[in-house]
Amino acid sequence: MEPVDQKLVSSWYDVQSVPQTFVQPPEKWPGKDIDVPLCKNIPVVDLRGPDWSRTIEQISEAIQEFGFFQVINHGVSKKMIDDTMNVSKDFHAMPRKDKETESSKDPSGRCKFYTSSENYANEEVHYWRDALVHPADSSENYMQYLPEKPTRYRQVVKVFMEELRKLGSVILEMLAEGLGLNKDFFNGGLTENPTLMFNHYPLCPDPSLTLGLKPHRDASLVTILLQDSEGLQVFKDGNWFGVEPISDAFVVNIGYAMQMISNSKFKGAEHRVVTNSRDARTTVAYFVYPSNETIIEPAKALCNPVNPPLYKSMTFAEFIGHFYSTAADAEELLKVLSLTE
């Protein structure tokens, strides 16, 4: 008989109680904090606003206050957004065997499907989600390794990846100018390794006991997220606040790589995902990562005797090694990265 905790992957619709391996320790239970207020103050930035300088100011202020903002009028069509969300839902609705088969064609193993996290086998407690992840590489050489089912997957995702690359470039150009750097600062190796992730958070019989994703900060330069319903929460001023789903908007947050480069002028915000018993939730996340050999360090233009560099210089591969070895624990990771420890 299939272990009960595997029902989350193949037949989540008939799970009547939270399997013990998905029950978080009591001190981590979201409990009454599942239905926290939606934060109405997270800025919604119009990327087609008439004043480019003011838009950059809005984004910089949002990052410094919340670590998050949302963008509208971003150039990605409603049809493209709907098609991508639908193909993601169609993938996750397939039988487990088909999902595993369709995500195992990449000989490098970079395209993968898993429950909870890539470290499922070694986790003490699992998270209530399934994920398909692969490089956001739209080249013909790589497209052959992506799922062929659902039938429109490659067609839709190829265009979506191209559109998100453009959007990411615009956002990074604005962030660079907001930091006082050349607008092309983040071109090249700093953005060469984007990744696409399709998350599915099934209905949960008792959301107070489990989490879709633990509290964390991303490793990326920036993360661009498409969400179809509530569940994303950000920690601010000692409380959790929900990030409101806005039709056809993208949620943007920064990660550790940007925090290091900006010398902490821009800081990533702690966030998590809660589940619910009313609706399944689907998200599509586009992570902008540097190439492994790219050096991550405070931008020299931002450092001086008054504002000395706060972080060590290292390759992104070295940083990722620290990120995983500390289990992405913010306090432990910053001890390793900081020049002042």
- What DSSP string describes 231-280? -EEEEETTEEEE----TT-EEEEE-HHHHHHTTTSS-PPPEEE---SS--
Is pTM beyond 0.75? Reply is yes
Q: Where does 36-300 sit in CATH, by number?
A: 2.60.120.330
- What DSSP string describes 282-304? EEEEEEE---TTSEE---GGG--
Report pLDDT digits (tens) over 102-151.
999 999 999 999 999 998 988 999 999 999 999 999 999 999 999 999 99
pLDDT at 37: 67
Residue 335 clears pLDDT 60, i.e. is over it: yes
User: Per-domain residue ranges for the chain?
Assistant: 36-300
Q: For residues 159 and 150, what is the distance between their CA atoms, to the nearest angstrom?
A: 16
Q: Percent of the chain having pLDDT more than 70?
A: 94
